[in-house]
Amino acid sequence: MDAQILRTVTGDVQVKLLTDPRSLRHLQPFFSEASTTSEAARKLQVSVHHMMYWTRKFRDAGLIEVHGNLVLHGRSIPRYQTTAGTFLVPFRHISQASLKELLAHFGRPWEDLLNHHLVRATTRHVPDVHQHSLRITGQRQLHIDLYGEDQALHDQLQAKEAPALLTEWHVLSLSPEDAKRLQHELLEMLHRYQQLQGPQQHLLRLALTPTLS
């Protein structure tokens, strides 16, 4: 299968399989190279019987096809590979619930990685971090801030000798024009810093959305 092949899918069964994080996990081994059901099961650390269930579903839906065979002890065992290097699923065929689930699923590893390094960098570079405490208030939503006796940890981290750490959630009241200006300014700033080739990697997440009823 040519990795450059791009295929648009709109069938209900295909769309469901390609927008379900669980089925996508089981389809993944067949993208990179042709694999037998057993080989795919080993990659995912699941049983062969379990993988056979998914192989049949993908094959019946036309998402994988036989791509060569493995000869083992005189038996010919089919190897499967995806029928395209990239599948496109138009948004009009995806439910809002599925889109939210996909965003949460694929964003979770990045969120975990970001939080992991935030905690490590903070505890490593702020000597008196353990003198701070959580301030938890039950207002419109739960707020958790780190505060010490004299100043917020957020302010302390802005000191020149502290690492570049920042994590913020804010609700902004903006006109449509101001929101678009902020969008363009953030993207311009991101593009500018992407051109730099410094010695240390940093994780950055940008998100902006109007709140719609």
Contact 150, 115 (CB under 8 A): no
pLDDT band of residue 137 (cuts 50, 70, 90) is: low
Q: Does residue 30 contact residue 109 with C-beta atoms inside 8 Å?
A: no
Is the model more confident about 140 or about 166? Answer: 166
> Tokens at residue 193, please?
């810093």
> In the structure, what pLDDT confidence band is assigned to residue 131 with cuts at 50, 70 and 90?
low
Chain centroid to Cα 124, Å, comes to: 27
Write down the mean pLDDT value for the chain: 86
pLDDT, tens only, 176-186: 999 999 999 99
Answer yes or no: are the C-beta atoms of 63 and 55 closer than 8 Å.
Answer: no
Domain boundaries, the chain: 6-91, 95-194
Question: Minimal CA–CA distance to 167: which of 203, 137, 142, 134?
Answer: 203
**DSSP string spanning the chain?**
--TT-EEE---HHHHHHHT-HHHHHHHTHHHHS-B-HHHHHHHHT--HHHHHHHHHHHHHTTSEEEEEEEEETTEEEEEEEES-SEEE--GGGS-HHHHHHHHHHHHHHHHHHHHHHHHHHHHHH-TTGGG-EEEEEESSSEEEEEE-SSSBHHHHTTSTTS-------------HHHHHHHHHHHHHHHHHHHT---SS-------------
Q: Report the pLDDT value the prediction gives residue 67, as an integer from 0 to 100.
A: 92
The predicted pLDDT at position 197 comes to 94
Report the 10 Å Cβ neighbour count for 81: 20
Phi first, then psi, for residue 182 (nearest 5°) are -60, -40
CA distances from 11 to 1, 93, 94, 101, 121 (A): 21, 9, 11, 20, 47
CATH class of the region 6-91: mainly alpha
The share of the chain scoring above pLDDT 70, in percent, equals: 84
